[in-house]
Amino acid sequence: MSSTIGAVTAVSTVNKPQLKVSVFSDYICPFCYVGSLRLLRLNEDYDLNINWCGVEIHPQTPPEGMPIRALGYSPSRWKDMMVGLKIMAEEEGIDLTRHDFTTNSQKALLLAEAAKEAGRDVFYRLHNALFQSFLISGRNIGDEKVLRDIANQVGVPGNVVTRAWSDSRYIRRLATNQKAAREMHLQGVPTYAVGSKILIGTVSMERLREAAHTSVHGVRPYAQKNDPLPGVSL
């Protein structure tokens, strides 16, 4: 894995079938990071267009952050989750920091929404950097100063950063995502809509490839059947 924050590997899309996917995700969720890495691997076989639908999984968390134990998970459940996460992280070759701190993700999600309008490359540099900064480096991405520094490191234009937190369009986009999540009775993140299939959780590459193959070979795409997820696909 590249040590450069937010690094993006260019993959040619020439002669590849197009695959549209919608994903509910949050930058403070380590399972979403693993899920993102796996989903983006489909770029090897498809012209992948993803509508990243940011949702706040813990909106009550203050921007200064708080210990994970304040979320109320039982010790046994948390232990099981972390054992599973460790296995998946090792499979992906990522060295996650100890996950004992969480924060408010709204500003990070708003920044990602604004970055979509700066183009695919800018968005994915930021997208990867937000995950890496919080889950590998242990930085508080609820802190506006930290977010500005991350954005500057990966080349997000300053006007995009400013607009992210002042333009009400982005708040409305997050509200639309939350509404769609409720209507779908979302059970957790990440959740993928791949063609007609809804995949919940950090699923295996095998299941992602199976859903992609089914979608490309004639199953009516989810977004065409019922499109609650307007957004920019990247």
Q: For residue 123, is pLDDT > 80?
A: yes
Please provide the distance, in angstroms rounded to a whole number, between the alpha carbons at the two ends of the chain: 22
Q: Is there a contact between 231 and 117 (Cβ–Cβ < 8 Å)?
A: no
Give the residue from 170, 186, 189, 185 showing the smallest Cα distance to 231.
Answer: 170
Reported as a single tens digit per residue, the pLDDT across 146-185 is: 999 999 999 999 999 999 999 999 999 999 999 999 999 9
Q: Which CATH superfamily is domain 18-225 in?
A: Glutaredoxin (3.40.30.10)
Give the residue carrying structure tokens 């299941």: 207
User: Do the Cβ atoms of 19 and 50 come closer than 8 Å?
Assistant: no
| Omega before 190 within 30 of 0, i.e. cis | yes
Q: How high does pLDDT run on average in the chain?
A: 91
Note the pLDDT of residue 232.
72
Q: What is the pLDDT of residues 35-89, one digit of tens each?
A: 999 999 999 999 999 999 999 999 999 999 999 999 999 999 999 999 999 999 9
